[in-house]
Structure 1
Amino acid sequence: MPNPGPSLSRFLIEQQRLPGSTCPAELRLLIETIARACKVINHAISKGALGDVLGSLGSENVQGEVQKKLDVIANDLLLDSNEWGGHLAGMASEEMEAIHLIPNRYPKGEYLLLFDPIDGSSNVDVDLTVGTIFSILLAPEDSAGRDVEERDFLQPGRRQVAAGYAIYGPQTLLVLTVGSGVYEFTLDSEIGSWRLTDGPLTIPAGNREFAINMARRRQWSPAITRFVEDRLQGSEGPLGEDYNMRWTASMVADVHRILKRGGVFLYPADHRAGGRGKLRLLYEANPMAFLIEQAGGAASDGAKRILDAEPIGLHQRIGVILGDKAEVAAASGARS
Structure 2
Amino acid sequence: MPKTLVEHVRERHGDALAELFEALAGAAKRIEARIRTAPLSDALGAFGHTNVQGEQQQKLDVFANDAVIGAVRTLGSVGGVVSEEDDEPVVFLDRPGARFVVITDPLDGSSNLDVDVNVGTIVSVQAIGPGEDARLAALKPGTAQVAALYVNYGPATMLVYTAGRGTHAFTLREGEFLLSGEDLAMPERGPYYSVNEGNAAEFPAAVRTYLEKLRDGSLLGTKYGSRYVGSFIADFHRTLLKGGVFLYPPTAKTPKGKLRLLYEANPLAMLAEQAGGRATDAGEDGRETRRILEIVPKEPHERTTLVIGSAAEVAAFGDVAAAAVGSVPQEK
Structures share fold, TM-score greater than 0.5: yes
Q: Which secondary structure state, in structure 2, belongs to the residue aligned with residue 218 of structure 1?
A: helix
**TM-fit CA distance, 1:278:** 0.7
Closer, same or farther: CA 169–238 of 1 in aligned 2, 3 Å: closer
Closer, same or farther: CA 124–107 of 1 in aligned 2, 3 Å: farther
Which residue type is aligned with residue 278 of structure 1? Answer: K
Name which of 238, 241, 266 aligns with 1:260.
241
Confirm whether residue 120 of structure 1 aligns to residue 121 of structure 2. Answer: no
Confirm whether residue 130 of structure 1 aligns to residue 119 of structure 2. Answer: yes
Encode CA deviations 1:210-256: one digit per residue, 9 max, x unaligned: 1111112133110100011122335xx56552211111111111111
Find the aligned partners of 2:254 and 2:3 in 1 and give their Cα distance.
48
Query: Paired residues, what number?
Result: 316
Mapping for residues 291-302 of structure 1, pairs under 5 Å: 291-302=271-282
**TM-fit CA distance, 1:30:** 0.6
Encode CA deviations 1:243-286: one digit per residue, 9 max, x unaligned: 1111111111111111111111111133x579511100001000
User: What is the TM-score of this pair, normalised by structure 2?
Assistant: 0.91
CA contact (8 A) 1:85 1:107 kept: no
Aligned to 2:265: 285
Confirm whether residue 229 of structure 1 aligns to residue 212 of structure 2. Answer: yes
Closer, same or farther: CA 171–274 of 1 in aligned 2, 3 Å: closer
Aligned to 1:307: 293
Query: Please, which runs of 5 or more residues in structure 2 have no aligned partner?
Result: 283-288, 325-332
Find the aligned partners of 2:270 and 2:302 in 1 and give their Cα distance.
17
Find the aligned partners of 2:187 and 2:16 in 1 and give their Cα distance.
33
**TM-fit CA distance, 1:332:** 2.1
Percent identity between matched residues is 40
**TM-fit CA distance, 1:176:** 0.5
Find the aligned partners of 1:77 and 1:308 in 2 and give their Cα distance.
30
Q: Name whichever of 60-69 and 48-57 sits farther off.
A: 48-57
Aligned to 1:102: 92
**TM-fit CA distance, 1:142:** 3.4
Which residue type is aligned with residue 207 of structure 1? Answer: G
**TM-fit CA distance, 1:205:** 2.0
Q: Which secondary structure state, in structure 2, belongs to the residue aligned with residue 134 of structure 1?
A: strand
Confirm whether residue 151 of structure 1 aligns to residue 156 of structure 2. Answer: no
CA contact (8 A) 1:156 1:308 kept: yes
Aligned to 1:20: none
Q: Which secondary structure state, in structure 2, belongs to the residue aligned with residue 313 of structure 1?
A: coil
Closer, same or farther: CA 89–308 of 1 in aligned 2, 3 Å: same
Find the aligned partners of 2:56 and 2:97 in 1 and give their Cα distance.
33
Mapping for residues 197-236 of structure 1, pairs under 5 Å: 197-234=180-217
CA contact (8 A) 1:118 1:133 kept: yes
**TM-fit CA distance, 1:330:** 1.3
RMSD, aligned CA: 1.7
Aligned to 1:57: 47
Encode CA deviations 1:91-139: one digit per residue, 9 max, x unaligned: 10011110001155x7852100000011111111111100000000001
Which residue type is aligned with residue 173 of structure 1? Answer: M
Aligned to 2:318: 332
Which residue type is aligned with residue 289 of structure 1? Answer: A
Closer, same or farther: CA 112–222 of 1 in aligned 2, 3 Å: same
Which residue type is aligned with residue 166 of structure 1? Answer: V
CA contact (8 A) 1:102 1:108 kept: no
Which residue type is aligned with residue 327 of structure 1? Answer: E
Aligned to 1:195: 178
**TM-fit CA distance, 1:309:** 0.1
CA contact (8 A) 1:262 1:323 kept: yes
Encode CA deviations 1:126-185: one digit per residue, 9 max, x unaligned: 111000000000013332xxxx25333110000001001011000000000010000000
Find the aligned partners of 1:5 and 1:334 in 2 and give their Cα distance.
44
Hey, which bits of structure 1, 4+ residues long, moved more than 3 A?
237-240, 272-275
Find the aligned partners of 1:30 and 1:107 in 2 and give their Cα distance.
17
Find the aligned partners of 1:238 and 1:86 in 2 and give their Cα distance.
51
Encode CA deviations 1:275-302: one digit per residue, 9 max, x unaligned: 5111000010000000000000110013
Mapping for residues 6-21 of structure 1, pairs under 5 Å: 6-15=3-12
CA contact (8 A) 1:90 1:113 kept: yes
Which residue type is aligned with residue 112 of structure 1? Answer: V
Which residue type is aligned with residue 33 of structure 1? Answer: A
**TM-fit CA distance, 1:14:** 1.7
Find the aligned partners of 2:186 and 2:219 in 1 and give their Cα distance.
25
**TM-fit CA distance, 1:323:** 0.8
Which residue type is aligned with residue 210 of structure 1? Answer: Y
Closer, same or farther: CA 274–56 of 1 in aligned 2, 3 Å: closer
User: What is the TM-score of this pair, normalised by structure 1?
Assistant: 0.90
Find the aligned partners of 2:148 and 2:279 in 1 and give their Cα distance.
15
